[in-house]
Amino acid sequence: MNFDPSWGQAGQSIQQFWQEQWGKSLQTLQQLQASAPAGLASMPGLGGVPQSWGGMMEALKSAMPQTAGAAGQSVQFDAPKLQSLQQEYVKAFQSLSDAQTIQAMLAKDKRFSKPEWSANPVAAMAAANYLLGSRMLTGMAEAVQGDDKTRSRVRFAVEQWVAAMAPSNFLALNADALNKIVETKGESLAQGISNLLADMRQGHVSMTDESLFTVGKNVATTEGAVVFENELFQLIEYKPLTTKVYEKPFLMVPPCINKFYILDLQPDNSVIRYAVSEGHHTFVVSWRNPDESLSGATWDDYIENGVLKAVSTVQDICAVPQINVLGFCVGGTMLTTAMAVLTARYTREHGQPAVKPTRSRSAAAKTTSKTTVKTEVTPFPVASMTLLTTLLDFSDTGILDIFIDENMVRLREMQMGKGGLMKGQDMASTFSFLRPNDLVWNYVVGNYLKGETPPPFDLLYWNSDSTNLPGPFYAWYLRNLYLENNLTKSGALTVCGETVDISAVKLPVYVYGSREDHIVPVSTAYASTQVLGGDLRFVMGASGHIAGVINPPAKNKRSHWLREDGEFPATFDDWTEGATEYPGSWWTDWSAWLGSHAGKQVAAPKNYGRAKAYAAIEDAPGRYVLAKV
């Protein structure tokens, strides 16, 4: 999930900062004898003397304007840590007189590792001083006293400032970019300016060559058709790839903050195509990209007219009493909420949902009865649920927690709680600044300073294809889930007229978390096992929020971890102690689990939809996914 920070729209302000510095750097290009362009003078270490430590304090305050001195108070530090850092700084600064030491420092950072940096004395000294200063600033951020949230905010603010102030971001000091200007006789500079203007027009930094991708042509290509649509979503049914399919169809619910085709990038890494090839009659929700006509849509609207409508429609199309479902990220949070609503309604009409017994077949065979009475039971509409990198317990939301507090949520409620749109590009920009060097400045340097076109990458194309969110939906989500963690509190929420209790959801659930996920920490994904009431299976995959999920078996990449004793200790650390690492993708384990809940094999349908009621509207991927923000 992406959020705009409460302390000042980090993504937008830093982008504005870059645009200003770009202009300054172009001016400074004509004065290369200067030691640094405008904007770098305040960078600690560029002063050339150890006494610049005093300026480090000012630099720290510049890095965190909203957190450095609330209510007029000065920043407080752990004195012993600060003294140790100062001694380390002086000692390290003295070592910069040795050229080999500087060269070794630059070689360890990919931004400065090319020979051009070491060969240019001005650039080498600027980079070395920057690395020393940024290391000390980071250490000072760790020495700030305060509660955990304040310290996390300081660390994040310093990380943003340090990343933005790297000499590699400034044309006048980027030795690699300057060398390329000479080699290309200025063509790289001209192309860089062209790239900058193009990105300013489209509203975001290009992370890939977007001209090489077309939705429905070389991404989102699995064959299917839209068989239902309303104001919130289109329902896509996919053409079977097997002669027989499982009798229980399979519905995927992606996050509504992104477009569904993260599950269908290319044929060789498509979760959707994999499910279809495994014999599942597969349907996917394609959320509409909200415009002003949906600016008043609420969380309840998305649950009732979105998730629950999709579930009942798949049942109706396939004429089956039960289906299997999957939710990814926020889609999993919405899906679990919908299951709690469905559970409350089912219980009121039919009593508690029947739970499949877990005893062995041999034990069941020993059970005898003098009379056998067949009772017609209406099954619960959903047979199993898969949750991928999903937040249910919001008590630990990782780095995103720094953005959420009462003031920020109240501001959003005032701005858009009754109507409005949370712009997709604002969320995407903030998400990128969670990893500023990899997802922002890396592309700024390549695209603009070097005039390069980033290589084609389907995942990054999808990442740039952002979507809006209705304001009331967004504000409700922030307060009730991120801020107050009400989904884990039985009876704290009323959704679609029903009291929500996710512990009453007794479905078999497959829970997946990614080990290096910075959006949904793996420990928080694991926490779902402590609040759901059904038969559970938890698996941890390697890598991050997206790459961990999109890991097809054919690639034979990354490991996954399982615990086969069926135990779910109170903490994730305790779970890992009993977990076993297995090489390769977790998809095969999940496929076997899903198949065990999918029923018998039946003949695959030959046509889309069902009769006139659900005739095919248009070919997949449909027109909803094509709408831009």
Residues with a known catalytic role: 329
What kind and span of H or E run contains 244? strand 244-246
Question: Which amino acid appears at position 176 of this protein?
Answer: D
CA dist., res. 317 & res. 616, Å (int):
12
Whether the ω angle into residue 621 lies within 30 degrees of 0, i.e. cis, is: yes
CA dist., res. 388 & res. 13, Å (int):
33
* 519 three-class SS: coil
Give the number of residues written for the chain: 629
- Alpha carbon 598 to its chain centroid, in Å, reads 29
Q: Are 153 and 67 in contact (CB under 8 A)?
A: yes
Return the percent helix, strand and coil in the chain, to nearest 5. 50, 10, 40
CA dist., res. 199 & res. 492, Å (int):
45
Question: Which amino acid appears at position 214 of this protein?
Answer: T
Q: Which residues contact 342 (CB under 8 A, 6 or more apart)?
A: 308, 311, 380, 381, 382
Q: Are 269 and 550 in contact (CB under 8 A)?
A: yes
DSSP secondary structure letter of residue 239: P
* 518 three-class SS: coil
Dig out the tokens for 46 from the structure: 């560029």
CA dist., res. 374 & res. 367, Å (int):
16
